[in-house]
């Protein structure tokens, strides 16, 4: 049976073969208000609680290790039912607002050259419950989380059914009730996924990891560009904007000496054309063994200034969680054991 964390109230009702349908809603509410066992569900009869405890467990995964960095970023390594590990990160901004950075897959098949997760290859897709549990494990321990970004391990559009289901659960009014605008899907640029999001929703925010506005450079950094070329990607984003009326974000990982010149900034401008997009510049986070270097501070500023001069809205992602390999693209778990005990 699927873990209950991956089910909606009605599905809990049928999966557990409960007599009354409101029981499904009661259990759903408990799970999403922090219960980690049936014993805590005091509005169910003792007999029912006991019966449920003997039949199933609520959570399929557990926290294996956790590290808190000096800036307050928390990274947890989660052990899945089959022994694989995934990571999830909790970020807190100056106002205290908490964002969960969730993984959609164990590993990733996309093989982007600058990304640590990319070096793992794909182990498997996560189930909706395994995605929801990352959130619950963080929230139950660290308090109310208001925002979600799918920027952990994996490519969300390669596991869209599970991601959609998890979002439906996060958005449900009897559970977390998180607004769709507080949820962001980040993709390496899978056109079919963008099209599907535009046509069928959900109406979450979209971020696309552009990394280069030059077809050849991008292909060498992100092999997926070969089958999802920039002109097609642009067409799909235009259509997305037309049908949703939404702005989107372009994530731009700045790699020292690779994509950080003024000319590169101009190519980003060219890619944007007349679309409404904001660029989020992320200076590359070192990930051991990967053959890149951080951009010079001066070049980061020149790059940002040039984009601004060209009329592009830019933000700079400040570095969080780096000391614990919990920053973007630093997530990876090798050989079924966490590397978090050895912070980078
Ligand atoms: N697969 C999705 C979401 C996960 S990656 C995607 O590619 O968008 C989340 C973000 O981290 C992406 O914007 C990616 O470009 C960025 N990233 C990957 N490796 C990085 C690194 N070493 N330093 C900084 N950002 C990185
Ligand atoms: Fe996968 Fe995203 Fe990393 Fe590329 S950047 S390897 S798509 S997780």
- For residue range 265-276, list pLDDT tens digits in order: 999 999 999 999
CATH class held by domain 62-324:
alpha beta
Residue 114 Cβ inside 6 Å of ligand 1? The answer reads yes
Contact 15, 4 (CB under 8 A): yes
Distance 105 CA to ligand 2 centre (A): 10
Condensed to tens digits (0 to 9), the pLDDT of residues 247-261 reads 999 999 999 999 999
Whether 285 is in the pocket of ligand 1, judged by its Cβ within 6 Å, is yes
Is residue 98 within 8 Å of 136, Cβ to Cβ?
A: no
Band of pLDDT at residue 70, cut at 50, 70 and 90: confident
Check whether 341 has a pLDDT greater than 50. Answer: no
Higher pLDDT, 332 or 152: 152
Q: Please report the pLDDT score of residue 337 as a whole number.
A: 36
Range 2-57 has CATH code 1.10.10? no
More confident residue, 343 or 319: 319
Rounded average pLDDT over 220-240: 98
Q: What is the mean pLDDT of the chain?
A: 92
Q: What is the mean pLDDT of residues 82-100?
A: 95
Does the beta carbon of 284 sit less than 6 angstroms from any atom of ligand 1? Answer: yes
User: What is the number of other CB atoms lying within 10 angstroms of the CB of residue 293?
Assistant: 12
Decide: 151 in ligand 1 pocket, CB within 6 A: yes
pLDDT reported for residue 340: 35
**Every domain of the chain and the residues it spans:** 2-57, 62-324
pLDDT of residue 56: 86
Confidence of residue 164 (pLDDT cuts 50, 70, 90): very high
Kindly report the pTM of this predicted structure.
Answer: 0.94
Cβ density class 174-198: b for 16+ within 10 Å, e for less: ebbebeeebbbbbbbbbbebbbebb
For residue 280, the CA-to-ligand 1 centroid distance in Å is 11
**Confidence band for 319, pLDDT divided at 50, 70 and 90:** low
Residue 194's pLDDT is: 98
In this predicted structure, which of 36-40, 70-74, 119-123 has the lowest mean pLDDT? 70-74
pLDDT at position 253:
96
Strand residue runs (E) in the chain: 62-68, 74-79, 85-92, 98-101, 105-107, 122-125, 147-150, 183-187, 205-209, 248-254, 277-283, 313-316
Query: Residue 110 Cα, ligand 2 centroid: separation in angstroms?
Result: 6
Q: Which residue has the higher pLDDT, 54 or 196?
A: 196
Tell me: pLDDT of 288 over 80: no
Q: How confident is the model at residue 289 (pLDDT cuts 50, 70, 90)?
A: confident
Encode pLDDT of 95-118 as tens digits.
999 999 999 999 999 999 999 999
pLDDT tier, 325 (very low <50, low <70, confident <90, very high otherwise): low
The DSSP 8-state label assigned to residue 158 in this structure reads G
Of the candidates 101, 104, 106, the residue with the CA atom closest to the CA atom of residue 85:
106
Identify the CA nearest to 283 among candidates 222, 327, 249. Answer: 327
Number of Cβ atoms within 10 Å of the Cβ of 37: 13
> Helix, strand, coil % (nearest 5) of the chain?
40, 20, 40
Higher pLDDT, 191 or 93: 191
Which residues on adjacent β-strands are paired with residue 248? 277
Ligand 1 contacts CB of residue 105 (under 6 A) = no
117 Cα: distance to centroid of ligand 1 (angstroms): 9
Residue of minimum CA distance from atom 12 in ligand 1? 209
Atom 26, ligand 1: residue with shortest CA distance: 329
Instruction: Say what the pLDDT of residue 8 is.
Output: 98
| Confidence grade of residue 57 (pLDDT, cut at 50, 70, 90) | confident
């Amino acid at each position: 049976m699927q873990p209950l964390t991956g089910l909606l109230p009605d599905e809990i009702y049928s999966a557990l073969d409960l007599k009354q349908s409101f029981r499904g809603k009661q259990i759903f509410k408990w799970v999403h208000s922090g219960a980690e066992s049936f014993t805590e569900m005091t509005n169910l009869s003792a007999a029912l609680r006991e019966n449920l405890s003997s039949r199933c467990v609520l959570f399929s995964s557990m926290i294996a290790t956790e590290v808190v960095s000096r800036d307050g970023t928390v990274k947890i390594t989660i052990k899945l039912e089959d022994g694989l590990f995934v990571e999830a990160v909790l970020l807190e901004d100056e106002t205290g607002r908490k964002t969960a950075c969730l993984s959609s897959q164990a590993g990733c098949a996309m093989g982007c050259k600058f990304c640590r997760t990319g070096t793992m290859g794909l182990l498997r897709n996560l189930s909706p419950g395994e995605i929801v549990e990352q959130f619950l494990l963080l929230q139950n321990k660290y308090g109310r989380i208001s925002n979600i970004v799918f920027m952990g391990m994996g490519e969300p559009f390669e596991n869209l059914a599970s991601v959609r289901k998890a979002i439906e659960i996060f958005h449900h009014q009897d559970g977390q009730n998180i607004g769709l605008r507080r949820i962001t899907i980040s993709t390496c640029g899978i056109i079919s996924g963008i099209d599907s999001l535009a046509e069928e929703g959900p109406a979450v925010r979209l971020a696309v990891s552009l990394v280069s506005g030059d077809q050849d450079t991008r292909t060498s950094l992100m092999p997926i560009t070969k089958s999802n070329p920039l002109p097609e990607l642009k067409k799909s984003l235009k259509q997305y904007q037309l049908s949703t009326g939404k702005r989107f974000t372009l994530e731009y990982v700045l790699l020292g000496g690779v994509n950080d010149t003024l000319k590169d900034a101009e190519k980003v401008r060219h890619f944007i054309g007349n679309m409404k997009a904001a660029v989020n510049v992320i200076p590359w986070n070192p990930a051991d063994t990967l053959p890149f270097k951080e951009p010079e501070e001066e070049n980061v500023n020149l790059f940002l200034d040039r984009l601004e001069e060209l009329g592009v809205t830019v933000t700079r992602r400040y570095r969080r969680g780096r000391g614990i390999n919990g920053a973007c693209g630093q997530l990876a778990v090798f050989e079924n054991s966490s590397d978090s005990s050895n912070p980078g």
